[in-house]
Protein backbone atom coordinates (compact mmCIF):
# COMPACT_ATOMS: atom_id res chain seq x y z
CA UNK A 1 0.00 0.00 0.00
CA UNK A 2 1.40 3.41 -0.94
CA UNK A 3 1.02 6.41 1.33
CA UNK A 4 -1.60 7.99 -0.90
CA UNK A 5 -3.58 4.74 -0.99
CA UNK A 6 -4.13 5.01 2.77
CA UNK A 7 -6.66 7.82 2.50
CA UNK A 8 -9.97 6.14 1.81
CA UNK A 9 -12.42 7.72 -0.58
CA UNK A 10 -14.64 10.42 0.90
CA UNK A 11 -17.69 8.17 1.11
CA UNK A 12 -15.77 5.54 3.08
CA UNK A 13 -14.25 7.85 5.71
CA UNK A 14 -17.12 10.20 6.51
CA UNK A 15 -19.63 9.13 9.18
CA UNK A 16 -23.05 10.07 7.79
CA UNK A 17 -24.94 11.41 10.79
CA UNK A 18 -27.77 13.54 9.37
CA UNK A 19 -27.10 17.26 9.69
CA UNK A 20 -23.32 16.92 9.86
CA UNK A 21 -20.88 17.25 6.98
CA UNK A 22 -17.35 16.82 8.35
CA UNK A 23 -17.64 14.04 10.94
CA UNK A 24 -15.06 11.32 10.41
CA UNK A 25 -12.97 8.70 12.15
CA UNK A 26 -9.26 9.55 12.40
CA UNK A 27 -8.37 5.86 12.70
CA UNK A 28 -7.24 3.37 10.09
CA UNK A 29 -4.05 5.10 8.92
CA UNK A 30 -0.76 3.18 8.91
CA UNK A 31 2.37 4.55 10.53
CA UNK A 32 5.90 4.36 9.18
CA UNK A 33 6.66 1.39 11.46
CA UNK A 34 3.65 -0.60 10.24
CA UNK A 35 1.32 0.09 13.17
CA UNK A 36 -2.26 1.25 12.61
CA UNK A 37 -4.10 4.14 14.21
CA UNK A 38 -7.00 2.51 16.02
CA UNK A 39 -10.50 3.06 14.70
CA UNK A 40 -13.28 4.45 16.88
CA UNK A 41 -10.81 6.12 19.28
CA UNK A 42 -10.75 9.67 17.90
CA UNK A 43 -13.21 11.52 15.68
CA UNK A 44 -12.97 14.96 14.10
CA UNK A 45 -15.93 17.12 13.16
CA UNK A 46 -17.44 20.53 12.79
CA UNK A 47 -19.38 22.05 15.69
CA UNK A 48 -23.04 21.26 16.11
CA UNK A 49 -25.08 23.85 17.98
CA UNK A 50 -28.71 24.35 18.87
CA UNK A 51 -31.03 25.56 16.09
CA UNK A 52 -31.11 29.34 15.90
CA UNK A 53 -27.35 29.67 16.15
CA UNK A 54 -25.15 31.16 13.42
CA UNK A 55 -26.03 29.82 10.00
CA UNK A 56 -22.42 28.78 9.37
CA UNK A 57 -22.81 25.97 11.91
CA UNK A 58 -24.39 22.54 11.68
CA UNK A 59 -27.36 22.08 14.00
CA UNK A 60 -28.13 19.55 16.67
CA UNK A 61 -31.31 17.55 16.06
CA UNK A 62 -32.61 15.38 18.93
CA UNK A 63 -34.27 13.13 16.38
CA UNK A 64 -30.80 11.82 15.61
CA UNK A 65 -29.79 11.11 19.21
CA UNK A 66 -29.41 7.40 18.45
CA UNK A 67 -26.81 8.24 15.81
CA UNK A 68 -24.87 10.52 18.15
CA UNK A 69 -24.90 7.98 20.97
CA UNK A 70 -23.66 5.25 18.65
CA UNK A 71 -20.27 6.98 18.65
CA UNK A 72 -19.97 5.98 22.34
CA UNK A 73 -17.99 9.12 23.13
CA UNK A 74 -16.51 9.76 26.54
CA UNK A 75 -14.88 13.08 25.69
CA UNK A 76 -15.59 16.10 23.50
CA UNK A 77 -12.83 18.68 22.94
CA UNK A 78 -13.99 22.11 21.78
CA UNK A 79 -11.17 24.25 20.35
CA UNK A 80 -13.22 27.36 19.56
CA UNK A 81 -12.53 30.77 21.05
CA UNK A 82 -14.39 31.85 24.17
CA UNK A 83 -16.72 34.26 22.30
CA UNK A 84 -17.60 31.50 19.84
CA UNK A 85 -18.37 29.10 22.68
CA UNK A 86 -20.44 31.70 24.55
CA UNK A 87 -22.42 32.65 21.45
CA UNK A 88 -23.15 29.10 20.34
CA UNK A 89 -22.31 26.40 22.90
CA UNK A 90 -21.40 23.02 21.47
CA UNK A 91 -24.16 20.42 21.50
CA UNK A 92 -21.81 17.49 20.91
CA UNK A 93 -21.36 16.71 24.60
CA UNK A 94 -25.07 16.83 25.34
CA UNK A 95 -25.93 14.82 22.24
CA UNK A 96 -23.47 12.05 23.06
CA UNK A 97 -23.42 12.09 26.86
CA UNK A 98 -19.67 12.80 26.81
CA UNK A 99 -17.65 15.03 29.12
CA UNK A 100 -16.79 18.41 27.60
CA UNK A 101 -13.27 19.88 27.65
CA UNK A 102 -12.87 23.43 26.36
CA UNK A 103 -9.44 24.49 25.11
CA UNK A 104 -10.12 27.91 23.56
CA UNK A 105 -7.95 29.03 20.67
CA UNK A 106 -8.77 32.58 19.66
CA UNK A 107 -6.69 32.69 16.50
CA UNK A 108 -8.95 32.44 13.47
CA UNK A 109 -12.18 33.17 15.30
CA UNK A 110 -14.43 36.14 14.59
CA UNK A 111 -13.07 39.29 16.20
CA UNK A 112 -9.58 37.88 16.74
CA UNK A 113 -6.40 39.57 15.55
CA UNK A 114 -6.18 36.86 12.90
CA UNK A 115 -9.67 37.47 11.53
CA UNK A 116 -8.47 37.16 7.97
CA UNK A 117 -11.94 37.55 6.50
CA UNK A 118 -12.23 41.05 7.97
CA UNK A 119 -8.72 41.90 6.82
CA UNK A 120 -9.55 40.83 3.27
CA UNK A 121 -12.80 42.77 3.21
CA UNK A 122 -11.19 45.99 4.45
CA UNK A 123 -8.22 45.70 2.11
CA UNK A 124 -5.75 45.36 4.99
CA UNK A 125 -4.83 42.05 3.38
CA UNK A 126 -4.57 41.85 -0.40
CA UNK A 127 -4.88 38.07 -0.76
CA UNK A 128 -4.96 34.91 1.31
CA UNK A 129 -3.44 31.90 -0.44
CA UNK A 130 -2.14 28.45 0.51
CA UNK A 131 1.21 29.92 1.55
CA UNK A 132 -0.57 32.32 3.92
CA UNK A 133 -2.58 29.43 5.33
CA UNK A 134 0.62 27.50 5.99
CA UNK A 135 2.11 30.49 7.84
CA UNK A 136 -1.11 30.79 9.86
CA UNK A 137 -0.83 27.17 10.94
CA UNK A 138 2.78 27.68 11.98
CA UNK A 139 1.65 30.67 14.05
CA UNK A 140 -0.98 28.47 15.69
CA UNK A 141 1.72 25.98 16.63
CA UNK A 142 3.99 28.62 18.09
CA UNK A 143 1.38 30.72 19.89
CA UNK A 144 -0.85 27.96 21.26
CA UNK A 145 1.62 25.26 22.27
CA UNK A 146 0.32 25.00 25.85
CA UNK A 147 -3.24 24.51 24.60
CA UNK A 148 -2.25 21.77 22.13
CA UNK A 149 -0.31 20.05 24.89
CA UNK A 150 -3.26 20.15 27.28
CA UNK A 151 -5.61 18.64 24.67
CA UNK A 152 -3.02 15.97 23.81
CA UNK A 153 -2.73 14.97 27.47
CA UNK A 154 -6.51 14.44 27.67
CA UNK A 155 -6.30 11.91 24.84
CA UNK A 156 -3.37 10.14 26.46
CA UNK A 157 -5.74 8.81 29.13
CA UNK A 158 -7.42 5.74 27.71
CA UNK A 159 -10.40 6.32 30.04
CA UNK A 160 -11.17 9.47 28.01
CA UNK A 161 -11.55 7.57 24.74
CA UNK A 162 -13.37 7.52 22.39
CA UNK A 163 -13.12 11.27 21.93
CA UNK A 164 -14.24 13.85 19.39
CA UNK A 165 -12.41 17.10 18.63
CA UNK A 166 -14.01 20.04 16.87
CA UNK A 167 -13.70 23.76 16.28
CA UNK A 168 -16.22 25.63 14.10
CA UNK A 169 -15.86 24.01 10.68
CA UNK A 170 -13.50 21.23 11.78
CA UNK A 171 -10.89 22.57 9.37
CA UNK A 172 -8.18 24.83 10.79
CA UNK A 173 -7.80 24.42 14.55
CA UNK A 174 -9.08 20.85 14.38
CA UNK A 175 -6.87 20.26 11.36
CA UNK A 176 -3.74 21.42 13.18
CA UNK A 177 -4.51 19.31 16.25
CA UNK A 178 -5.33 16.15 14.30
CA UNK A 179 -2.18 16.65 12.24
CA UNK A 180 -0.17 16.77 15.47
CA UNK A 181 -1.88 13.59 16.66
CA UNK A 182 -1.32 11.64 13.46
CA UNK A 183 2.21 12.91 12.90
CA UNK A 184 3.23 12.15 16.48
CA UNK A 185 2.09 8.56 15.94
CA UNK A 186 4.22 8.25 12.82
CA UNK A 187 1.64 8.66 10.06
CA UNK A 188 3.50 9.94 6.93
CA UNK A 189 3.20 13.64 6.13
CA UNK A 190 1.57 12.95 2.77
CA UNK A 191 -1.25 11.03 4.45
CA UNK A 192 -1.67 13.62 7.22
CA UNK A 193 -2.04 16.37 4.62
CA UNK A 194 -4.53 14.34 2.59
CA UNK A 195 -6.64 13.70 5.69
CA UNK A 196 -6.67 17.45 6.33
CA UNK A 197 -7.69 18.17 2.74
CA UNK A 198 -10.79 15.98 3.01
CA UNK A 199 -12.60 18.86 4.72
CA UNK A 200 -12.65 20.56 1.32
CA UNK A 201 -14.46 17.50 -0.06
CA UNK A 202 -17.04 17.30 2.71
CA UNK A 203 -17.65 21.06 2.90
CA UNK A 204 -17.16 22.12 -0.73
CA UNK A 205 -17.17 25.63 -2.17
CA UNK A 206 -17.64 27.36 1.19
CA UNK A 207 -16.49 30.59 -0.41
CA UNK A 208 -19.96 31.01 -1.91
CA UNK A 209 -21.46 31.51 1.55
CA UNK A 210 -19.33 34.66 1.94
CA UNK A 211 -19.14 35.85 -1.67
CA UNK A 212 -21.78 38.54 -1.20
CA UNK A 213 -19.71 40.12 1.58
CA UNK A 214 -16.70 40.38 -0.72
CA UNK A 215 -18.80 41.86 -3.51
CA UNK A 216 -20.38 44.39 -1.14
CA UNK A 217 -16.89 45.47 -0.07
CA UNK A 218 -15.80 45.82 -3.69
CA UNK A 219 -13.45 42.88 -3.44
CA UNK A 220 -13.09 39.82 -5.66
CA UNK A 221 -14.10 36.71 -3.65
CA UNK A 222 -11.30 34.75 -5.29
CA UNK A 223 -8.70 36.61 -3.22
CA UNK A 224 -9.86 34.64 -0.19
CA UNK A 225 -10.61 31.23 -1.68
CA UNK A 226 -7.82 29.45 0.23
CA UNK A 227 -9.26 30.73 3.52
CA UNK A 228 -12.35 28.57 3.01
CA UNK A 229 -10.61 25.55 1.54
CA UNK A 230 -8.07 23.00 2.84
CA UNK A 231 -4.99 23.38 0.65
CA UNK A 232 -2.77 20.30 0.82
CA UNK A 233 0.34 22.46 0.53
CA UNK A 234 -0.64 24.53 3.57
CA UNK A 235 -0.51 21.45 5.79
CA UNK A 236 2.75 20.29 4.20
CA UNK A 237 4.21 23.70 5.05
CA UNK A 238 3.24 23.24 8.69
CA UNK A 239 4.60 19.70 8.82
CA UNK A 240 7.87 20.83 7.22
CA UNK A 241 8.15 23.43 9.99
CA UNK A 242 7.67 20.74 12.64
CA UNK A 243 10.38 18.63 11.03
CA UNK A 244 12.85 21.45 10.44
CA UNK A 245 12.41 23.22 13.77
CA UNK A 246 11.70 20.36 16.17
CA UNK A 247 12.61 17.11 14.45
CA UNK A 248 8.91 16.30 14.06
CA UNK A 249 5.65 16.43 15.97
CA UNK A 250 6.96 14.50 18.97
CA UNK A 251 9.87 16.89 19.35
CA UNK A 252 7.48 19.84 19.21
CA UNK A 253 5.13 18.34 21.78
CA UNK A 254 7.98 17.62 24.17
CA UNK A 255 9.96 20.85 23.79
CA UNK A 256 7.14 23.37 23.21
CA UNK A 257 3.88 21.85 24.45
CA UNK A 258 4.95 20.37 27.77
CA UNK A 259 4.28 16.73 26.87
CA UNK A 260 6.79 14.43 28.56
CA UNK A 261 8.01 11.11 27.20
CA UNK A 262 5.85 9.04 29.52
CA UNK A 263 2.71 10.87 28.35
CA UNK A 264 3.57 10.52 24.66
CA UNK A 265 4.18 6.80 25.12
CA UNK A 266 0.87 6.44 26.98
CA UNK A 267 -0.78 8.35 24.14
CA UNK A 268 0.77 5.98 21.62
CA UNK A 269 -0.57 2.93 23.48
CA UNK A 270 -4.01 4.50 23.71
CA UNK A 271 -4.25 5.50 20.05
CA UNK A 272 -2.69 2.57 18.19
CA UNK A 273 -4.45 -0.71 17.46
CA UNK A 274 -3.05 -3.52 19.57
Across the range 85-107, mean pLDDT stands at 95
- Per-residue pLDDT tens for 161-194? 999 999 999 999 999 999 999 999 999 999 999 9
- Per-residue pLDDT tens for 222-244? 999 999 999 999 999 999 999 99
pLDDT for residue 102 is more than 70: yes
Reported as a pLDDT band with limits 50, 70 and 90, residue 115 is: confident
What is the β-pairing status of strands 42-45 and 24-25?
antiparallel
Instruction: Give the whole-angstrom CA distance, residue 152 versus residue 248.
Output: 15
- Per-residue pLDDT tens for 252-264? 999 999 999 999 9
Buried-state track 27-55, b at ≥16 Cβ within 10 A, e below 16: bbbbbeeebbbbeebbbbbbbbbeeebee
Domain boundaries, given as residue ranges, for the chain: 14-268
- Per-residue pLDDT tens for 51-80? 998 888 999 999 999 999 999 999 999 999
- Per-residue pLDDT tens for 197-208? 999 999 999 999
What is the topology classification, in CATH, of domain 14-268? 3.90.190
Give the chain's mean pLDDT. 93
Decide: 77 and 198 in contact? Cβ < 8 Å: no
Taking the complete model, does pTM exceed 0.75, yes or no? yes
Q: What confidence score (pLDDT) does residue 21 get?
A: 94
Amino acid sequence: MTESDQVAGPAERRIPIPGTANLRDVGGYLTTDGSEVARRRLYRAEAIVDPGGPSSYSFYDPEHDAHYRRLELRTVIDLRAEPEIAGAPTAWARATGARLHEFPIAEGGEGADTNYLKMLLTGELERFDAAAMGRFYIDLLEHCADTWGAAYRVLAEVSNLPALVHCAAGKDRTGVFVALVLSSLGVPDDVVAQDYSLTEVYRPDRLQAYADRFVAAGRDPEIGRALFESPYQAMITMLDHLSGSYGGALGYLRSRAGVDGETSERFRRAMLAS
